[in-house]
A and B are shown apart, each in its own frame.
Chain A
Amino acid sequence: MRKILLIIMLSIISLTSLLSQKIVVAVMQDPDFLDPHRAAASGTYEMMFNVFEGLLKPDSNGSVVPAVAESYHISEDGLTYTFTLRSGVKFHNGFEVTVDDVLYSLNRLKGNNQERGLSSDFEKFVSKIEAVDEKTIKVELSTLNTDFLEKFIIAIIPANNDNHEVNPIGTGPFKFVKYQPGQRLVIEKFDEYWNPELPIVDEVEFRIIPDNQAAIMSFMAGDVQILPRLDAIQAMVLGNRFNLITAEQNMVQLMAMNHAVSPFDDIRVRRAINHAVDKDEIIEIVAGGYGTKLGSNMSPIMSMYHQEGLEDYYETSLVRSRQLLSEAGYPDGFSTKITVPSNYQFHIDTAQIIVEQLKRVGIEAEIELVEWSVWLDKVYTSREYEMTIIGLTGKLSAYDILRRYVSDYPRNFYNYFNIEYDRVVKMAIEKTDIEEKASLFKQAQIILTEDAAAVYIMDPNFFVALAPNLFGYKVYPLYVQDMSTLYYR
C-alpha cells in the first residue's frame, strides 16, 4: 500500500514538473504595440522576438540568418534582394506561409499611393516588391543601401489576420496567448515551428514589474526565473547563489552636449570636457568595473565596424582640459546643467561622478532629474537641454547606429552638423564591398571622436540572473530575450 502511494506521489511530482515547464521573466515595461510593424520600443521587441520572425532573423553573433526564407541572394549592384521561402513554415493559426503573405507584409511596410507605409526605411529605399514564383520574392531598392539586409528581420505576418494588434500571429517558436496591460504578456510553445527541436519549454510569462527591487525580491523567492538586464550593483545584491551571466550589450552610454547651445558649440569646450571626464573611474564606481570603455558611438561588440583605439583619444588630463577652456575663453570654467532621466539609476550615478570630475576644471554642473516622458519630449525631441546622459541600445546595422548624427536625421538630438560626416555615412551604405563599407563606417567614428560630438563613456555589461536549474540562455548583442533555447535540468 505504502509503495503504491509512494509511486503515485512520485508520478504526481514528476508529472507536475513535466507540466510546469514554465518560465517567468521579469520585464520593466509594457509593450507599445503588439502589431510588429507598428511597434518601435526595444522593450516590445525583447518579448515579441519569440513570436515573430522575418525572412531573416538575428542570431547571437549579431549577424542575420535565414528564417521564413530559406536562402537569399543579393545582386552584384546591391539593388536587388531575392529570397527563397522555406517550405513548411506555418503561422500560429495553422496556415502555411505563402508568397502572398510575404508580399502583404512587405507592402504594408512600404505603403502605396493611397496609404503611408509603416516603415520609413521601406518607404524610402524600396521601389518594387514582386513574387517571381510561388517560392521566390524579389525586392528592389531605389537607392543603394548596403545595410538594408538587416531590415528583413521585420515580421512576416498573415494576410488573412484582420487585427494584428489584438490577435498577433507570427511564425516564431512561441505563439501569443494573452496580454494584460501593466501585468503580463504570456506566450506558449508553438508545436509546428519549422525547427522541430525548438522551443523546449511550454510557456513563458513576461511579468511586468517596473520596480527593480520588487523584481529582485520575486526572483529571490522563486516566483520569477529570469531577471534580464541587471546592472553590476544589483547583481552584487543577488550574490553568487544564482546563475549569473554577464555580457557586453552593444549599448553606447554617452553624455551628449547640445551643439546648438553655447558654450558647447565650441569644439574646444567639448574637447576640454572629454579631457576632464575620467571614464575608467566611472566604469569602476558605477559599473563595478563591468563595462567596456568607448571612444566613439560604436560598441566593440560590433567587431566588424568598430574603430579601435579611440577610447583613449582624449586622455584624462586636467592640464589639457584647463588649457582648452582658457583658449575658448573660459579660464575659470562655467556653470551648466546635466539633464538625466530619473528612472535610470545607472545614468544618475554616472552624472554624479561626472559632476565631481568637471568641478576639477572649474565647470559647475548641476544635475536636473526629469521624468522619462519629459526627457523624451524636452531633450530627445525638442532638444532643449545643455548636457544629458543616456544609453542608446544597439542595432544590427552600423548605419542605424551612426545615422543618429546625420544632419537631417529627425532625432539628431545632439544637434550635430558635419557635412563631411553626412557624406562618409552616405558613401558607406553605397559600398557593396564589405571591407570598403567597414572602413568608411570606421572613418565616421573617427570624425565623431575628433569633433568631440559627445563624451562616449562605456558599453555597460549587463547581467542576466537565471534560476539555478535553468540552462541554455543565449546572449545577443541586441535587445532581445530568446526563450526558445532555454530548458530546465
Chain B
Amino acid sequence: MYVYLKKLFAMILTVLLVSLIAFVAFEVIPGNPALSRLGVDAEESQFEALSAELGLNDPLGERLSRWFKGLLTGDLGTSMRYSVPVSDLILDRIPVTLSLALMAMMFITLVGIPLGIVSAKYGHRLPDILISMISQIGMAIPSFWSGIILMYIFGIVLRWVSPGGYVPWSEDAVGAFKSLLLPAIAIALPSIASIIRYTRNSVMDQMKSDYVQLALSKGLNINSVLYKHVLKNSLIPIVTVLGMIAANILGGSIVIEQVFTLPGLGRLLINAISTRDLPLVQGMVLYIAFIIVIINFLIDIVYTVIDPRIRLGA
C-alpha cells in the first residue's frame, strides 16, 4: 500500500511539473489565443475585448494560480478557443478515441501475437522469413500513408465504408463500426509488426532456456511446450509493449484522426496547440497523464497474473 502512495505522489508531482512546463512554454512561444481565434479581419476593439475576457492581460502568476485553484476544485477551466468547459470537450471526444483504441488493440493482439509465435516456431525457416519480411514492411510504412491507401481502396474504389466522417455509436452502431474499422487497421498495422517481432524474439529466447530443452528432450510435443510453458514466460515483455502502445493510442492518434476526420482526442490536441488554447492543452496533459497511470496499474496487475512470483507493489 505504501508503495502505491509513493507512486501516486510521484505521479502528482510529475503532472504538476508538466503543467508548469506547458504554462511556461506557452508563455515563451509566439502566438496569442485571441489573435488565433479572431483572425485577420478582427477590429482592434474585438481583439481587446476578447483578450480581457480570456484574462490574457493578467500576469503569469495570477493565471497560473487561477488554473491550479480551479484544478483543486475539479474545474479544468474553459477553452479559450471554443468558450466551453475543457472537461466537456475532452469527455465528448473520449468515446471516439476509446473505441478506436479498443479495436486497434484487438487487431494487434489477435494478429500480432499468433503470427509472432508462428514465426518463432519456424525460426529462420520459410514462414518466419515471410512473416519477418511482412512485418518489416509494416513497420516501415507510416500509418498516415496506409490510412490514405486503405481509404482510397475501401472507401472510394470499393465504397464498402465511408472514408471520412464519424458516426456516433448511439446513432448507428453498424455505421460507427464501419467508420472506425479502417482507421483502427491503419493504427494497428505498424504496431502489429512490432508486436510480431517482440513475440518472436521473446519466444525464441525462452526456447533456448534449459527448461524448454529438457521438456523437448524428454519427448514432449513442441506445440504443448510452446503453449503450456513458453508462452506464459515470454508474455511479460509483450505485455509491457502492449501497454505502451495502448497508452499511445489512447492519447489520441493525431495523424490518423486527421486523415479520417475523426473527432478524437488527437485532433483536439492539435487544435488546442495550434490555437494556443492553454487551458485545453493543460486539460489534455492531465488526461494523458491519467491514462498512463491507469495503464501502468493494469500492467502491474497483469504481471501478477502471468507470473505469481511478482507481487503487487513489490
Contact = CB atoms under 8 A, between A and B. Distances in A.
Interface of A: 30, 32-33, 38, 40-43, 116-121, 123, 165, 180-183, 207, 209-211, 213-215, 217-218, 220-221, 223-224, 371-374, 376-378, 380-381, 390, 392-393, 410-411
A214 B45 contact: no
B152 A372 contact: no
Contact of B92 (A30, A32, A180): A180
A487 to B, nearest CB: 23
A43 to B, nearest CB: 7
Contacts of B155: 217, 221
B41 to A, nearest CB: 5
Contacts of A213: 148, 259
B237 to A, nearest CB: 36
B276 interface: yes
B267 A182 contact: yes
Interface of B: 29-32, 35-46, 49-50, 79, 81-84, 89, 92, 148, 151-152, 155-156, 159, 162-166, 258-261, 263, 267-268, 271, 274-276
Contact of A218 (B31, B89, B261): B261
15 contacts: A38-B46, A41-B41, A120-B45, A120-B46, A181-B89, A215-B164, A217-B155, A223-B164, A223-B165, A373-B30, A374-B31, A376-B39, A377-B32, A377-B35, A390-B40
B271 to A, nearest CB: 6
Given A183-B263, A221-B163, A371-B274, 4 more contacts: A120-B44, A220-B156, A220-B163, A390-B40
**Nearest 9 pairs of A and B residues by beta carbon:** A373-B31, A40-B42, A218-B164, A181-B82, A410-B44, A41-B39, A120-B45, A376-B35, A40-B38
Contact of A41 (B38, B258, B263, B268): B38
Given A40-B42, A221-B155, A211 B261 contact: yes
Contact of B151 (A38, A43, A217): A217
Contacts of A217: 148, 151-152, 155-156, 163-164
A373 B45 contact: no
Nearest to B268: A182
A262 B293 CA distance: 54
A103 B70 CA distance: 39
Contacts of B151: 217
Nearest to A205: B165
A376 B40 contact: yes
B31 A371 contact: yes
Contacts of A215: 164, 261
Nearest to A34: B83
Given A181-B82, A211-B261, A217-B164, A376 B43 contact: no
A215 B259 CA distance: 9
A117 B45 contact: yes
Contacts of B40: 376, 380, 390, 392-393, 411
A211 B200 CA distance: 38
Nearest to A217: B163
Contact of B274 (A42, A116, A118, A372): A372
A165 B83 contact: yes
A33 B82 CA distance: 8
A380 B89 CA distance: 30
Given A42-B41, A218-B261, A377 B31 contact: yes
Contact of B45 (A116, A183, A221, A378): A116
Contact of B30 (A32, A42, A118, A378): A378
B165 to A, nearest CB: 5
A223 B259 contact: no
Contacts of B165: 207, 218, 223-224
A373 B164 CA distance: 27
Contacts of A376: 31-32, 35-36, 39-40
Contacts of A42: 39, 41
Contacts of A181: 79, 81-82, 84, 89
B57 to A, nearest CB: 15
A373 B278 CA distance: 13
Contacts of A411: 40, 44
A119 B43 contact: yes
Most buried by A among B29, B42, B274: B42
Given A43-B39, A120-B44, A214 B164 contact: yes
A33 B34 CA distance: 12
